[in-house]
Each structure stands twice: as C-alpha cells, then as structure tokens.
C-alpha cells in the first residue's frame, strides 16, 4: 500500500484490475523515465504510441473485429486514472485524445469500409488521431464554427472541398487522421449543418500553420491548422451529413469522463507525493505531517478526491448501461477539474519552495492541471448544462 491509494471499486472485474496493474507498471517503468525528454522536445515519439498500442491500451474501446478490445467506459476510466498518475499530463492528453476523443468517431460513425481502412492502424498506434473542432472564434460555442465544406457538384468523382482553420489541436502537428468538423449547410442555424470528415496526413490542402508553446502539457504537440481548398472523396464523410454537432456532443461525454478520471489520477498521485514529503520534512521541530493544519488539509483534499472518484465510476456505469449521463458527466467535468486545481495547488503549497522548482513533479502537475477547467467544456459551460437539467 502506497501512502494514499484508493480501494478498487466493486464495479471493476478481473480484466479491469489486470489492465490497471499493467498500465501502472508500464507508466512507471517505461513512460516516466523517458517523459522528461518528451517534455523538452515538445512531442511524443511515434514509437511510444506504437509500443502502447501494441499492448492493446490505445484500442480498448473499439470493436474487436477492427483491432480493438471491445471494452466499455470503465476501461477508459482506468486508462485515464493510470496515465494521469504518471504525473505527465501531456502524455495522458496525447494518448487519450487519440484513443478516446478522436478515433472513436470512426468507430461510432464509420462505415465498415472506413473502419477497416483506419481503425486497425489507429488501435495499434501506427496512425495517430486528432479531433479538430475549435476555431479562433468558436471554442466553447461549437455551433459557431465557420470552417466550410462544399460538395463538388460538377465532375464525375464527387467529393468535398474544405476551407477554414482550426486551433489548439492536440496531436495536431504529428497526427495521421484528423477528424474535422466543418459546416456543410451554411443556411442551417447554429448546431445544424455541421458534418464530420476524416482528413489524412499528406493531403496537400492540410497545412500545419504553427506548433504552440504551452504553459503545461508540454510533451503533447498542439497545432493551428489551415485547410486550403482541401479536397476529399465522398468516403471521407463520417456518418450522416448535418449530424456532426450531435456526434461531437456525444463523444464529448466520453472525453469529459476521461478528463474526470485524469483529474482523479492526478489528485491521488499529488496527494501521495505530498503525504510522503510531509512525513519526512521537518519544520519547527516536527514533521509537517505532525502539524494538524497540514494533515487536516491533506485529509480534506483526499476526501474531495474520493468524492470525485465515486462520481467518475457512477458516470462510467451510467454510460455503459446506456443511460443519459449528460447531467452527471457535466457535474463530473466541472467539479472534478476544479477539485484538481485545489489539490495540486494545495500539494504544491506543502512542498514549499521546492514545489515551485522545475523538476518537482508537483510543479509540473500544477501547470498541466490548469487546462482541464477550460478544454473539453469549461467549468461555467458544464455548470450551465447541469442547471438546464435541474
């Protein structure tokens, strides 16, 4: 038993427990020793995706016949928690954007031919996915996106031409498969008239305009993209034309569940590191742990983390049972990611000056955590979703 470890929820079967143990070992033995170099490079080598994919962890949610594991939302929760416990939020983001936020669109909406073409390589980590929704003037307000896809009416081959841009796209520099949201009907109001397309790396109309320098998540690459008369065949359209907004919102449920799981993993690890530090750090003739204020605060943070974790598992169960979990998942995204801020900053505080120094995992975790109350549904937007359902 480490300094702060949760009990395994009864919901998890033997397979989930085995997956947790394997991912944890892999994160500790293989990822953590390399991750500082990835942080400095600002990207994760393709071989790391391949290695993690070869173990089956990138395709757990996708159908077995296309190279996946055929597992449910609980598997994503275990993945999110364990990657986040590694203390490198950028690695957790890059892997889960691929496994749980982008290629899932192909698994859910793709035809047999599309799944056959893209999923096996994606599950294996041979091809990396990115999801391209946000634009410079449309972030929280997804329905405001302006990137335009126009059907090619003349000529025999059909297809689409896309013009526009996307920003802050995780894996955007090095992805092979970009799931792009574009407006196919300019006359349809707001959320209607948006469709999803698969754009492959190497398409001459796809330009990586820049790679961003970021406050945190430094090992994951984040790009601005331009689409300049980007031509696609009819077979690039995912699902039905005009249903893209609905598809994005439905995949957001999984994205937000994984964000909640990542928050729990980071909270647990930050508390574990801080309890260990407090037990040995002396101040005023006793350890920090012996100061009631310190241990009380850490106990309160542990209690809040346990509450978030209970909500994570409740949401995963609701999703796996096919229940409408929008209200609970929105609560989780808001409360879980806000709790994470309190935990990482509380933990940094008890590391004293050392907590502010680069190289201390808690310093990195505090930076990495910051995006989680903004990306994938800002706290305020999530609470509105809850309020609408009250």
Ligand X SMILES: Cc1cc2nc3c(=O)[nH]c(=O)nc-3n(C[C@H](O)[C@H](O)[C@H](O)COP(=O)(O)OP(=O)(O)OC[C@H]3O[C@@H](n4cnc5c(N)ncnc54)[C@H](O)[C@@H]3O)c2cc1C
**Which token pair is 174?**
């090095």
Site for ligand X, residues 224 to 243, rule: CB under 6 A: none
SS (H, E, C) 241-257: CCEHHHHHHHHHHHHHH
Name the one residue in this structure whose structure tokens are 């241990």: 295
Distance CA 339, CA 316 (A): 19
Secondary structure letter of residue 323 according to DSSP: -
| Candidate ranges 70-78, 268-276, 289-297, 379-387; the one touching ligand X (CB under 6 A) | 379-387
Burial (CB < 10 A; 0-12, 13-18, 19+), residue 166, is buried
In the annotation, is 43 catalytic? no
Among 85, 376, 382, 385, binds ligand X (CB under 6 A): 376
> With binding defined as CB under 6 A, does residue 139 bind ligand X?
yes
Site for ligand X, residues 152 to 211, rule: CB under 6 A: 168-170
> With binding defined as CB under 6 A, does residue 374 bind ligand X?
yes
> With binding defined as CB under 6 A, does residue 217 bind ligand X?
yes
Among 140, 188, 234, 387, binds ligand X (CB under 6 A): 140
Closest CA to 101 of 178, 176, 166: 178
**How many degrees, rounded to 5, is the angle at CA 145 between CA 117 and CA 232?**
30
Among 87, 99, 114, 134, binds ligand X (CB under 6 A): 134
Among 83, 91, 97, 232, binds ligand X (CB under 6 A): 97
Task: State the minimum distance, in angstroms, from the CB of residue 142 to ligand X.
Answer: 8
SS (H, E, C) 354-365: HHHCCCCHHHHH
Rounded to a whole number of angstroms, the distance between the first and last alpha carbons of the chain is 40
178: which strand partners? 130, 199
Residue 303: other Cβ atoms inside 10 A:
9
Decide whether 198 or 371 has the Cβ nearer to ligand X: 371
Task: State the minimum distance, in angstroms, from the CB of residue 324 to ligand X.
Answer: 21
Cβ 333 vs Cβ 259: under 8 Å: yes
> With binding defined as CB under 6 A, does residue 375 bind ligand X?
yes
> With binding defined as CB under 6 A, does residue 381 bind ligand X?
yes
Task: State the minimum distance, in angstroms, from the CB of residue 18 to ligand X.
Answer: 30
Question: Which residues form the interface with ligand X (CB under 6 A)?
Answer: 97, 131-134, 139-141, 168-170, 214, 217, 222, 371, 374-376, 378, 380-381, 384
| Residues annotated as catalytic (active site), given as ranges | 255
């Amino acid at each position: 038993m480490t300094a702060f470890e949760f009990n395994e929820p009864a919901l998890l079967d033997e397979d989930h427990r085995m997956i947790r143990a394997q991912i944890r070992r892999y994160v500790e033995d293989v990822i953590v020793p390399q991750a500082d170099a990835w942080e400095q490079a600002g990207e994760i080598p393709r071989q790391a995706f391949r290695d993690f994919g070869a173990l089956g962890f990138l395709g757990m949610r996708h159908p077995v016949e296309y190279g996946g594991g055929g597992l449910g939302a609980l598997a994503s929760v275990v993945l999110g928690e364990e990657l986040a416990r590694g203390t490198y939020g950028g690695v957790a983001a890059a892997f889960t954007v691929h496994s749980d936020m982008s290629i899932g669109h192909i698994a859910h909406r793709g035809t047999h031919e599309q799944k056959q073409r893209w999923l096996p390589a994606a599950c294996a980590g041979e091809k990396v996915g990115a999801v391209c929704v946000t634009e410079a003037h449309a972030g929280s307000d997804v329905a405001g996106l302006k990137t335009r896809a126009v059907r090619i009416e003349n000529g025999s081959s059909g297809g689409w031409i896309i013009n526009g841009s996307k920003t802050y796209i995780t894996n955007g520099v090095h992805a092979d498969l970009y799931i792009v949201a574009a407006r196919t009907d300019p006359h349809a109001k707001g959320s209607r008239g948006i469709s999803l397309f698969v754009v492959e790396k190497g398409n001459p109309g796809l330009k990586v305009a820049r790679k961003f320098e970021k406050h945190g998540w430094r090992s994951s690459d984040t790009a601005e993209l331009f689409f300049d008369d980007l031509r696609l065949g009819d077979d690039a359209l995912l699902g039905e034309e005009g249903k893209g907004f609905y598809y994005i919102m439905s995949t957001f449920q999984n994205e937000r569940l994984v964000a909640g799981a990542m928050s729990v993993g980071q909270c647990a690890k930050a508390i574990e590191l801080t309890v260990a530090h407090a037990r040995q750090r002396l101040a005023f003739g006793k350890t920090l742990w012996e100061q009631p204020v310190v241990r009380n605060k850490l106990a309160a943070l542990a209690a809040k983390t346990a509450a978030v974790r209970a909500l994570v598992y409740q949401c995963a169960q609701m999703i796996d049972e096919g229940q409408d979990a929008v209200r609970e998942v929105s609560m989780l995204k808001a409360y879980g990611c806000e709790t994470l801020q309190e935990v990482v900053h509380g933990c940094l505080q008890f590391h004293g000056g050392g907590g502010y120094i680069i190289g201390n995992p808690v310093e990195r975790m505090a930076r990495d955590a910051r995006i989680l109350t903004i990306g994938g549904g800002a706290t305020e937007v999530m609470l509105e979703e809850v309020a609408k359902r009250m």
